[in-house]
Amino acid sequence: MMNNRLIDKTSVIPMYYQLAKLLEGQIRRGELKPGEAIPTETEISARFAISRMTVRRAIAELVTSGMVNAQQGKGTFVTMPKLDNIVFELNDFNHNIQQSGILAKTTLLEAKIVRLNELLQEKFAVSNANVKFLFSRMVVSAAEERLAYETKYTLYSKSKPILESDLQDPTLPGLVAAHSNFLPVSAKKVLQVAAATELEASILGIVPNSPVFLIEQTIYDPEHRTVGWSKSIYRGDRYKLTGYDGWYKKD
């Protein structure tokens, strides 16, 4: 159940952003299902003791990213996904894979996906284009999870000065600088990628608060020979793939 402890009013992170991420998480985890109405603005406002305008701004983020659609007089509803996209939800995918008994979630996170593309195409008859898309989604989700986990771990397990420096410069480049001495390499990589794309985002005029990931991945075979690669920019619900013009969206 929603709890107002999940919104930190004293944080440097704007409340509307916290709330947007909270709702986004509920949608991604399936706690708010496609087609369902999310709580009304008044309800959310009361539940978290924040003003309705702030709630509206949070919801506006979700509307922009296409996760929900608001209908005046009726309510705000979680966008219905198409059949194809269900595959691309990380949880569902891991679930499917685990059921099949071929690859477990841990395997995916440990980046030991070998010839996964072939596997997907042969065993699950997934098209090549969809494999590419699937990969980018997996990498992004994994990166997000890992970033969240390792940052939390670092902040909770290390000394105080680090936390203070974080507060002094909460931007991603700042985090990279502050953490570069003791962060695990994988997290540093993720932070660097995020920092790089945040810089790129500012150049390209993208809204600062929308998370942007630039993902380049290479697929190796067991002998560590390159068998393929793909590159994608991921911003909110939109993604851009090498070889495909323009921005694409979930639905």
Partner DNA sequence: AAGGTATAGTTGTATAGACAAGTAAGACTA
Partner DNA sequence: TAGTCTTACTTGTCTATACAACTATACCTT
Q: Which of 6, 30, 31, 42 binds DNA (CB under 7 A)?
A: 42
Which C-beta is closer to DNA: that of 23 or that of 131?
A: 23
Q: What is the nearest approach in angstroms of a copy of itself to the Cβ of residue 100?
A: 28
Choices 44-52, 104-112, 124-132, 150-158; region in contact with DNA by CB under 7 A = 44-52
Burial of 204 (0-12, 13-18, 19+ CB in 10 A): exposed
CB 44 within 8 A of CB 19: yes
Q: Which of residues 15-34 bind DNA (CB under 7 A)?
A: 15-17
Residue 131: what residue type?
V
**Distance of alpha carbon 50 from alpha carbon 206, whole angstroms:** 27
Residues belonging to the chain: 251
Which C-beta is closer to DNA: that of 67 or that of 90?
A: 67
Nearest to 97 by CA among 80, 75, 113, 74: 113
The verdict on 185 binding DNA (CB under 7 A) reads: no
Which C-beta is closer to DNA: that of 18 or that of 94?
A: 18
Q: Which of 71, 99, 159, 226 binds DNA (CB under 7 A)?
A: 71
Which C-beta is closer to a copy of itself: that of 80 or that of 104?
A: 80
**Tokens encoding 40:** 């009304």
Q: What is the nearest approach in angstroms of DNA to the Cβ of residue 210?
A: 12
Size of the site for DNA (CB under 7 A): 30
Q: Look at residue 105 and give the partner it binds from DNA, a copy of itself, none, a contact being a CB closer than 5 to 8 Å depending on partner kind.
A: none
**Site of interaction with a copy of itself (CB under 8 A):** 63-64, 66, 69, 79, 189, 192-193, 195-196, 199-200, 202-205, 207, 214, 216, 228-229, 242-243, 245-246
The DSSP line for 33-89 is -TTPBPPPHHHHHHHHT--HHHHHHHHHHHHHHTSEEEETTTEEEEPPPPHHHHTT-
Burial of 16 (0-12, 13-18, 19+ CB in 10 A): buried
- Which residues of this chain interact with DNA, rule CB under 7 A? 9, 12, 14-17, 37-38, 40-43, 49-54, 56-57, 59, 70-76, 181, 209
